[in-house]
Amino acid sequence: MRYAIISDLHSNLDALERVIEDIKKQKVDRHLCLGDIIGYGAQPNECIRLVREELKCLTIAGNHDWAALGKTNIDYFNAYAKEATLWTREQLSEDEVKYIDSLPLIEHLPEDFTLVHGTLYNPELFDYIQTSYDAYLSLQALDGRVCFLGHSHVPITFFQGEMISYTLSQEISLEVGVKALVNVGSVGQPRDDNPKASYAIYDTDKRKVWIRRIEYDIESAGKKIRDAGLPEVLAERLKYGR
């Protein structure tokens, strides 16, 4: 099976549309979404529609999805994230609220891999995996072979061999007997100093993952953020991938 795995779309329709064009050339069997469909950007409804109806993604919830529904405390969000969350909440229809509310925090796929937004231990806390020790904690909690995640908006893969190692490579081989955590990066707000949208292709027969980086119209996404009255910084950061 070949999967396209997207995460952290953050209401950025310009980025999502270009990513979908690329996915269509990749001959995938199924689409997976690791959460944070909304929050930050100006087109939450359009992004929800594409994930649900166009891609028919198997989707899990991220912290911004929960935040828009009031399911998680936004006191720890920075001022811009808070403002965007409150704006997003106003945009959602009853049906969209129901859909987001129905999303689970973890999914296990039959081919021995798992999906989560932040961490495998206490996924409802939405902690970040940034160090080898953070990765170790989630690898310990991983039943299967591979876990795909998002949340930090930085594509990186951690492996559990005798030690924890990692790679920033865009072509990742998943060796038998080595557990891995694959962060697929962010479609709508990359933060690894590369402004191109990020997503992953996973081929379970070849045991390979490819991180793909896709150019999109950043000016257009930024203009929509400004026109919606959302904080300027949310438009500006897209240019730098931060």
Would you tell me which residues interact with Zn ion (CB under 5 A)? 8, 36
Least distance in Å: CB of 38 to Zn ion? Answer: 10
Least distance in Å: CB of 240 to Zn ion? Answer: 17
Least distance in Å: CB of 150 to Zn ion? Answer: 6
Closest residue to Zn ion: CB criterion: 36
Least distance in Å: CB of 143 to Zn ion? Answer: 25
Q: Which is nearer to Zn ion, 174 or 182 (CB)?
A: 182
Alpha carbons 81 and 19: distance in angstroms, whole number: 24
Residue type, 206: K
Strand 197-203 versus strand 208-214 pairing type = antiparallel
Alpha carbons 153 and 151: distance in angstroms, whole number: 5
Q: Which is nearer to Zn ion, 36 or 134 (CB)?
A: 36
Alpha carbons 146 and 239: distance in angstroms, whole number: 32
Alpha carbons 128 and 204: distance in angstroms, whole number: 26
Q: Which is nearer to Zn ion, 36 or 192 (CB)?
A: 36
Least distance in Å: CB of 14 to Zn ion? Answer: 17
Torsion angle in degrees (nearest 10) through CA of 114, 117, 118, 119: -20
Query: What stretches of 53-97 adopt beta strand conformation (E)?
Result: 58-59
Q: Which is nearer to Zn ion, 9 or 174 (CB)?
A: 9
Q: Which is nearer to Zn ion, 118 or 159 (CB)?
A: 118
